[in-house]
Amino acid sequence: MISKYLIVLLGFNLLTLIFSLSKATNNQDNLISYLIFALLTLALGFLINKVRKTNQTDSNIQTTSNLTWKKLKRNKNAVFGLIIIIILVYISILAPFIMPHDPLEMNWGKTIQKPSLEHWFGTDEFGRDIFSRAIYGVRIALGIGLLAVVLNTLLGTFLGLIAGYYGGRVDNLIMRAIEMWNSIPFILMAIALIAALGTGLLNLILVVSITGIMQFARVIRSSVLGLKKADYVLAAKVMGIPDRQIIIRHILPNCIAPIIVLATLRIGEMILTIAGLSFLGLGIQPPMPALGSMLSSGQQYISENLMMSIVPGTMILLIVFAFNLLGDGLRDALDSKLSN
C-alpha cells in the first residue's frame, strides 16, 4: 500500500541524484545539499524494504503505523498538507540545484522588475531574483523551524516526563516554574532575550525554542499521569527496574503520538514567530535571504512590485498552512484525547 508511493518517490530521488551530480561539486553548499539528499534517498530505500518485510510476514495483522497511515490517508486535508510538506522539503534540500539564480546576486541595472522569463517572480530592490530568494528562504525557514521544534520538543517532553512520572513536589515545582515562565508575554520575552543575546541564527533558534514549552510539558505530563498507572509500568516498578529505564522503555514510546502531533503544530507557530521577529528587525540578518525580512522589505515596495511581498508572504502561509493541515490530520488519526 504505502510502499507504492514510496517507490515512486525513490525513483524520482534516484533520477534527481543522477541529473544533479554534475553540479554537486561546484561548491560546499551544493555538496552538502547533495549528500543530505543522497542520505534521504538511502533512508527511503530502507523504509521501503522494511515496510515490504512487515507486509509480507504478517499481512493480516494491522500494525499501529499501518493503521495510522490508513486513517491519515482518509483525511484528504492531511494528505494535502503532507504532499505540500514533502514538496517543500525537497525544494529546500535541492535548493542549490533548482534556483535559477544566486539568491545573493545583485544587479543594480535591474532593480524592482516585474516577472519575466528570466526572473519568474521579478526582482527586488537590489535586483536579486525573487524566485531564487523565496526558495532559499523556505530552506532557511524550514531548517530553523525544524531545529527549534526539535529543541522545543526535547525540553518540553523532558520536563513533562519528569513532572508526570515523579509527581508530588517535583511536579509542583516544574509546573509552577513553567507557569511563571508562561506568564511573561512570549513575544516580549523573545524580543528582550534577543536584545540581550544579540541577533544570530543560533540565538534565534534558542529563543524561539524556549518560549513555548508550556504546551508540551502540560500534554506530556497528563499522558504520563495516565500511563503511570498502567499494569506494565507497575509491574516494571515491582521488578525493580530503574526509573530511567522505565521512562525511556515504557513511558516515552507511548507518548510519541501526542509529541508528534504537537511538534507538527508547533513548527507553524515557530515559523510565524521567527517571521514576526524578522519583521521587527530582530530575526535572521541580511544578506541571508529570510522570508520574514523579505516580507517586511516587500511592504516598502507594495505599489512598485507586489511580488516582493506576495511571494514571501504566501511562502510563509504555505509552510504554516501545510504543517497545520498535517498536524490536524495526525491528531485525528493518532490520538483522540488530544482533539481539544
Partner 1 sequence: MLNYILRRLLILIPILIFISLFIFVIIKLTPGDPALVLLGERATEQALNQTRIKYGLDQPLHIQYFKMMENFFKGDLKSINYKQNVISVIINRLPATLELGAAALVIAIIVSIPAGIISAIKRNSVFDYISMSIALLGISIPVFYTGIILMYIFAVKLNWLPASGYGGHIWTTEGFKYFILPAISLSFVLMASTTRLTRSSILEVIQEDYIRTARAKGVKEKSVILIHAFKNALVPIVTNIGNQVAGIFAGAVLTETVFAWPGVGRLAVNAIFRRDEPLVFGCVIFLSAVYVIVNLIVDLVYTLINPQITYD
Partner 2 sequence: MRKKLTLVLVTLLALFLLVGCSTQQEAAVQKEGQTSQNNTETLKIGIAKEPANLNPVLISGLYGESLAGNIFDTLVSFKENSAKASPALAESWEINKAGTEYTFYLRKGVNFHNGDKLTADDVKFTLEAIMNPENASPSKEFFEPVKMIEVIDDYTVKITLKNPYSPFMMALGNPTAGIIPKKVVEKIGMDEFDRNPIGTGPFKFAEWIPDDHIKLVKNKDYFLAEPNLDEVIYRPIPKAEVMAAEIQAGGIDIASDLLPQDIKKLSQDDSLVVKTVSGLSLKYVGFSAQIKPFSDVRFRKAVYYAVPIDDVVQGIFGDTGDRAYSWIPPSVFPDDNEYMKAHALKQNEDKAKELFAQLKAEGILKDGFEFSIYSPQDPYRKKVATAIATELKSYGLNAKVEALEWGTLLPLLKKGKAGIYIMGWGSVPDPDRWTYKIFHTGSAMNFSKYSNKVVDQALEQGRRLVGSDKRGTEYKKAMRKALVKDYIHIPLAFTNVTTVMNKNVEGFEPSPQGYFHLVTDKRNVTIK
- Closest CB to partner 2 among residues 9, 201: 201
Give the dihedral of Cα atoms 276, 80, 98, 48; nearest 10 deg: 120
Using CB under 8 A, which residues numbered 179 to 208 contact partner 2? 195, 199
Interface residue with partner 1 among 78, 148, 161, 325 (CB under 8 A) is: 325
Q: Is 35 exposed, middle or buried (0-12, 13-18, 19+ CB in 10 A)?
A: exposed
The string of DSSP letters for 34-103 reads HHHHHHHHHHHHHHHHHHHHHHHHTSSS--HHHHHHHHHHH-HHHHHHHHHHHHHHHHHHSHHHH-SS-T
Cβ–Cβ < 8 Å for 151, 206: yes
Using CB under 8 A, which residues numbered 171 to 200 contact partner 1? 176-177, 179-180, 183-189, 191-193, 195-198
Site string for partner 1, 229-268 (x = CB under 8 A): ---------------------------------------x
- Closest CB to partner 1 among residues 40, 171: 171
Residues binding partner 1: number (CB under 8 A):
40
Shortest separation between residue 197's beta carbon and partner 1, angstroms: 8
What is the distance between the alpha carbons of residues 5 and 3, in angstroms, rounded to a whole number? 5
Strand partners, 123: 129
- Closest CB to partner 1 among residues 35, 195: 195
Cβ–Cβ < 8 Å for 294, 133: yes
Close Cβ partners of 11 (under 8 Å, ≥ 6 residues apart): none
Binding partner of 188, given partner 1, partner 2, none, CB within 5-8 angstroms per partner class: partner 1
- Closest CB to partner 1 among residues 13, 278: 278
E strand or H helix at 285:
none
Cβ–Cβ < 8 Å for 284, 139: no
115 binds partner 2 (CB under 8 A): no
The stretch near partner 2 (CB under 8 A) out of 98-106, 146-154, 215-223, 263-271 is 98-106
Cβ–Cβ < 8 Å for 292, 134: no
3-class DSSP state of 141: helix
Residues binding partner 2: number (CB under 8 A):
24
Chain positions contacting partner 2, by CB under 8 A:
104-106, 108-109, 111-112, 125-127, 195, 199, 281, 285-288, 297, 299-304
Chain positions contacting partner 1, by CB under 8 A:
176-177, 179-180, 183-189, 191-193, 195-198, 268, 272, 275-276, 279-280, 292, 295-296, 299, 302, 309, 313, 316-317, 320-321, 324-325, 328, 339-340
